[in-house]
Structures are given as structure tokens and as C-alpha cells.
Structure 1
Amino acid sequence: MPAARSSAPRGASRAKKATAIPQVSWREPRPAPIVLVSGPQEVCAERAIAGIRDYLRLEDPSLEVSDVRADDYEAGSLLSLTSPSLFGEPRLVRVAGVEKATDAFIQEALAYLEHPQEGATVILRHTGASVRGKKLLDAVRAGTGGGIEIPCPAIKRDSDRFDFAAGEFTAAERRIAPQALRTLVSAFADDVTELAAACQQLIGDVEGDITPDVVERYYGGRVEVSAFVVADTAIAGRFGEALVTLRHALASGADPVPLVAAFAMKLRGMARVAGSREPTAALASRLGMKDWQIDRARRDLSGWNERSLGLAIQATARADAEVKGAARDPIFALERMVTVIATRRPFGE
């Protein structure tokens, strides 16, 4: 009689295998005999690894910490560093470069998983930059060695950066105004490490709630902040002030491309929200936006209609092409875009 065919989805067994070990947040790391820190986001990985070290040192200040390069591995090092010492101090071995590991390291690490040393914590750092070491990762994720995984996925999207920065202040039990958070994230849109440092600076330096004025005072000179100041002013309909702010941003070294990008980001949010009467939470969930982003876009829409919003989007698309080489004078392209948006009328009308 033929065996009964499973009704489970084809990928179910693979998904189960991939999550056989606990998945632990990098914000709340904890030790285990084997800790796989996976993914490309270095700032999160560094926090996780430092957190495990601090956790173990609180338990026993005599902790021995050792570092190993899996891509420049000396045979026998792993077992040597994890073996109990004369006085039995706990051991932490941090292994970097597992995505480029030598055959010798992979072989010895697989053998180690079968018999982890008592009192030792081994951290395996794999960035995911290659499939090298897949057999080792599969063994860890299958539960061999009693490990855990701390995923550190890439922070690429705006929503990811907002969540990251908001989490910094939540973890420190500090309050930051939504507009201040948006300005801060915009100021460091291209570098999560710098964003993390900026969050920690504000947490360490500023007493009380963190307001938009505080963020502007600290980071108002950055190009991306200036870009959003120009966009906010123009969208609010303050034509003269918007032109002055634009010229100030350009004089401060702002590049036309991110200036246009700031306008595009805000107008895109306004267009997505326009005409919807859904409750904020429901609309945010459907559009993949934050509640405060919905509220801000709705406030920005005051005084706008379908025609003026269409004109603004067209003007921004034209300016985007022109500042990227389609025209000889990117400054004029910016001024025309700001004029259309701030006056809500076609240029020259």
C-alpha cells in the first residue's frame, strides 16, 4: 500500500528546519553554547555580540574572551580556546568571517557542535555575503549544539530605519516627537551606523523629551535635513520662505538630487493617503506606513486638491530628470519645482 502523502505545504518542512532553534532579538541577546549572529547589518550584530559579552561578565567577571578569524584559521584553535582552564573560568569565543571560513574551521566547528564544551559560549558571525559555511549553518539551525540565532537583517527601507531609530529611544526609555524622529532618520538616511550614533548622542546629551528643535539644533546642517525643511515649507504654501530656504540649503552644500527626493517622498505619501476616510491604524496597515506618517500626510494635504497634487507630482518628476542630467541648469529646475508646489499653480501662471 503506498504511503500517505502529507497535506502540508511543500515548503513547510524547510521552514520548520530553518526555525528549529530560538530566534532572539539583537536588542535582547543572551548566551547559549552556540550563538549564530546572522545577516549583513553590522551595527545590530555588534550590539548583539557586545550584549552577550556584557551578560556573561555580569554573571562572572573572570570571563575569558577570545577572538578567532574563520577565514584565517589555525587548526585546533577552537577546541583549545573553549577547553576549561585550570580554574574553570567561563569562556567566550567570538568567531568572525564565517561566510569566508576555511575548510579546516568548518570541519572543526561541525565536530564541536556534537560536543560543546561546558562553560563555553561560541559566537559565529556570518554576514550572509556568501553561501560559504552553509553546512555549518544548517547544522546549527537544526539544533545541533543547542544554539540560538540572532538575525541582523539589512536595514534598507525607510520604515526599517524609522523602526530602528524608534527602538533606540524606546530601549533607553526616552520619548522623541514623531517629527523629530522623522527629521533625524532623514538626516542619516544612508548610514545606519551614523544614525545609531546620533540616537545615542541625543539620548546621552539631552534631558527630557527630544523635540524637533533639539534635532534641528544638533543635525540641521546635514543635507537631508535641509531637504525636508525645504519640502515642508513649500508644501505648506509658504512660497517666499520656501525659496529662501532652498537657496540657504544650496549655499550650505545641499545636492539637488536628495532635495528632489525629499519632495518626492512627501508627495508620494500624500498621494497614497489622499481621499481615504479609513481610520489611521487601518490605513497605515494597508499601506505599510506608520500611524504618524498617515497623520502627517493628512495634515500636509490641507489646502490641496487632486489638480494641484497632480501638478506637484509632475513638477517633481520633471525636476528629478533635470537634476540628473536632462537639463543644463539644475538650480532653475529646483526653483521651478518649488514654485509650482508652493503656489499650487503651473509655472509662470
Structure 2
Amino acid sequence: MGSPSHRGLRRGNRRAGSVAGYVAGSVPGAWQAGPVTTTATAVPPLVLITGPEQVIADRALAGTLEELRAADPDVEVVRLYAATYEPGAVGVHASPSLFGGAKAIVVHDLDEAPDELQEDLLALLAAPEPDVTLVVTHKSGQRGKKVLDTIKKGQARVLEAPAIKSDRDKAEFATHEFRRAGRKASPDAVRALIEAVGKDVRELAAACQQLVADTTGTIDEQLVARYHGGKVEATGFRVADAAVAGQAGDALRLLRHAIATGVDPVPIVAVLAQQLRQLVKVGAAGRGRSADVARDLGMAPWQVDKARRGLSGWGPEGLAESIQAVALADFEVKGGGRDPVYAVERAILTITGARTGR
């Protein structure tokens, strides 16, 4: 058995970055995780995939295993899961087999690991086997911290899977998805796609892949509408757009359509509140480049541009009245009222009435 330092001499530089598109510590770089390219740097003996975004973590793991198989098609892959771990399993699988050969032990969900799994991992890290690559995934939290610290000190490759939560994060993720596939998508197309399927990142990634596979040329808003028009029409975003624009009839029609297609009133109220808050924040930010304002406010540039267009016809009093109306609707749709749909309708009428139109 060699020490970690001896193994470092055997297998070359161990730092992150030998997989195309993986940039540890860089959110955009992590999002670009894609096909593996051949490099002079081998997969190190220790790989840590850390972060809560499962889509990115899955890609990081798949890319690592693909790289290992490219170096050795016969590599044996063993998967161990924290929830079903049996004490001693790490040591059993790490032991050399009768016929030798390379192994990759993948430990899923260290953040849920029982004490036995953590102890077994620390034992392996203290006395590593020469032909074993240990890959560990950890979503978040302090559980397994000693193992994490030991892995990082052992010259591990660290691949990050940061959370994708805000619309700005999702817009950057979708844009990178299209760019990774060699395609261009307009900002309006990205916005429409997020409004249609952006609640779940995995669904957003699948929608991007579908558009890439089924279409050619630049992906625009019309193309997104053709594939996801029904979903777009039924979302709270369209309801909120119409309400903020003062279009009471359209907003109510879209609301009823959304409710009829199974959309819950709670997220619709949330989108109404979000759009009104964005109007307030962008209005208070003053002039400046959209990209600069977006960075300062934690928004996407297209959201800043949209809010600036939407501010026409709004005054401080109208915005304050509308925000109060939405706060009341939020209380009522979450159990404080008798009729959630009526609560949303009343909020929409208040919003459209509060807009001055000038």
C-alpha cells in the first residue's frame, strides 16, 4: 500500500480541472460540465463531488467514470449508498481481488453517512489501496466533515454542484446548456423556457436537450412557444405579466386557465409578489447597464430590462397598494381565507386598478 503522496507520484497531478468543463469553485464552469476530453492528467485517487444540485452532481460523476473507463475499460465500479451501508463494506471492496485490476468505489451521500461508513472511509484514507479510486458525493451540511477534510487534504479533485435557485441562475444554466451543445438561444427564448419548465432544474435541462435535438438554428421565443406553449400560458408568469401591465381581462382569463390546468394559487401569488418586488428594486436602482444592475440586485439582465419596461405607468403609491393586496392574497391562499381563487382574482383587480397607465 502506498501513501497518498506516493500515489501522487504514480498517477500525476491530482488537482481539479482535468475533465473538460469542470471548474472547481466556479459556478458557471460547473454548469458547463459536459463531454470528457482526453487530457494528460489522470483521474486522481480521490474525487469529491460536492453540492446540492443533483443534475450537475450526476454529470460530474458520469464524467469521472467515463474518464476512468477511457483509461482502463475494465475498471470495476462499486457503488455504496449511505442509507443502506453495511459496516466493513468499504474495506471489503477496496481489498485487491484475485485477478487484480483497477477499481472505482463510489460512495453516495456522505452527508447522510452513518458513523460506521465514516469510520471505514477514514480507515481507507489512512491506508489507501494503490489501484482504487475513491469517489465521494456530499450534498451539504456538516455530517461527514472529518472525511471531507481528509479527502481535501489528500490532493482530491473537487467538483462542485452549486444550487440553481434564482431565475438568474436558471437563465445562466439554460444558456450554458445551449452553448455546450453548440447552439444559440435568444434571451427571450431562455426566459420563456424558464417560465414554462423552470421550476425543476432537471426538467429544464431535459427541455434544453429536447430543443437542441429536435430543432436547428437559433432557438427563439416562437420555437419555445411551439414546444411548451401550453405550459407557458398556464403559468403564473403570464398571469403576473398581464396584471402588471394593467390588463385585467387577460390576467383573469389566464388565471382561470391556469387553475383549470392544475396550477395551484400559491405559486401564482408568489410570482405576482416577485414581479412587484422586482419593479420596486429596479425602480430604486436608477440608471445603469442592465448587466451591472442585475449583478447588484441578484437578477438576470433580461429581468431588469423587463422590469424597466413594466415600470411605465406605475407610481410609488400604486406599487405599495399592490404589494399590500398580494400580501393579503398570500395569507388567504395559504389557509387564511375561504376561497383561494377569489383571493387571487381580487389581488389582480387591485393591481390592475392601482396602475396609473401614465
Shorter-chain TM-score range: 0.7 to 0.9
Does residue 56 (structure 1) correspond to residue 68 (structure 2)? The answer is: yes
1:67 partner SS: strand
One-letter code aligned to 2:299: M
In the superposition, the TM-score normalised over structure 2's length comes to 0.77
Does residue 161 (structure 1) correspond to residue 170 (structure 2)? The answer is: yes
What are the equivalent positions in structure 2 for 1:115-130 lying under 5 Å apart?
115-128=127-140
Name 1:209's counterpart in structure 2. 218
Tell whether the 8 Å contact from 2:90 to 2:121 is kept in structure 1 after alignment.
no
Name 1:280's counterpart in structure 2. 290
Residue-by-residue CA offset, 1:232-254 (whole Å, 9 max, x unaligned): 12322333333322222222222
CA shift in 2, pair 1:340/1:59, >3 Å: same
CA shift in 2, pair 1:249/1:100, >3 Å: closer
CA shift in 2, pair 1:103/1:340, >3 Å: closer
One-letter code aligned to 1:244: R
Does residue 147 (structure 1) correspond to residue 156 (structure 2)? The answer is: yes
Does residue 67 (structure 1) correspond to residue 79 (structure 2)? The answer is: yes
Number of aligned pairs? 323
Name 1:134's counterpart in structure 2. 145
Find the aligned partners of 1:76 and 1:234 in 2 and give their Cα distance: 59
Name 2:122's counterpart in structure 1. 110
Deviation at 1:345, TM superposition (A): 5.2
1:253 partner SS: coil
Does residue 321 (structure 1) correspond to residue 331 (structure 2)? The answer is: yes
Find the aligned partners of 2:258 and 2:170 in 1 and give their Cα distance: 24
RMSD: 3.1
Find the aligned partners of 2:277 and 2:145 in 1 and give their Cα distance: 41
1:274 partner SS: helix
Find the aligned partners of 2:51 and 2:257 in 1 and give their Cα distance: 40
Name 1:34's counterpart in structure 2. 46
2:136 partner SS: strand
Residue-by-residue CA offset, 1:167-220 (whole Å, 9 max, x unaligned): 322322322222332333234454333232222222222322222233333334
2:47 partner SS: strand
Deviation at 1:129, TM superposition (A): 5.1
CA shift in 2, pair 1:261/1:104, >3 Å: closer
Tell whether the 8 Å contact from 1:66 to 1:81 is kept in structure 2 after alignment.
no
One-letter code aligned to 2:258: A
Residue of structure 1 aligned with 2:107, choices 84, 92, 95: 95
Greater CA deviation, 67-76 or 165-174? 67-76
Tell whether the 8 Å contact from 1:162 to 1:185 is kept in structure 2 after alignment.
yes
In the superposition, the TM-score normalised over structure 1's length comes to 0.79
2:140 partner SS: coil
Deviation at 1:273, TM superposition (A): 1.0
Tell whether the 8 Å contact from 1:82 to 1:93 is kept in structure 2 after alignment.
no
CA shift in 2, pair 1:302/1:50, >3 Å: same
Identity of aligned residues (%): 41
Tell whether the 8 Å contact from 1:21 to 1:141 is kept in structure 2 after alignment.
no
Deviation at 1:281, TM superposition (A): 2.7
2:235 partner SS: helix
Tell whether the 8 Å contact from 2:80 to 2:105 is kept in structure 1 after alignment.
yes
2:77 partner SS: strand
2:288 partner SS: coil
Name 2:6's counterpart in structure 1. none
Find the aligned partners of 2:109 and 2:262 in 1 and give their Cα distance: 39
The answer for unaligned runs of 5 or more in structure 1 is 1-19
Residue of structure 1 aligned with 2:96, choices 68, 79, 83: 83
Find the aligned partners of 1:185 and 1:52 in 2 and give their Cα distance: 29
One-letter code aligned to 1:273: V
CA shift in 2, pair 1:139/1:182, >3 Å: same
Greater CA deviation, 291-300 or 316-325? 316-325
The answer for unaligned runs of 5 or more in structure 2 is 1-13, 17-22, 37-41
Greater CA deviation, 270-279 or 25-34? 25-34
Find the aligned partners of 1:257 and 1:91 in 2 and give their Cα distance: 49
Tell whether the 8 Å contact from 2:195 to 2:235 is kept in structure 1 after alignment.
no
Does residue 312 (structure 1) correspond to residue 289 (structure 2)? The answer is: no
Deviation at 1:55, TM superposition (A): 2.0
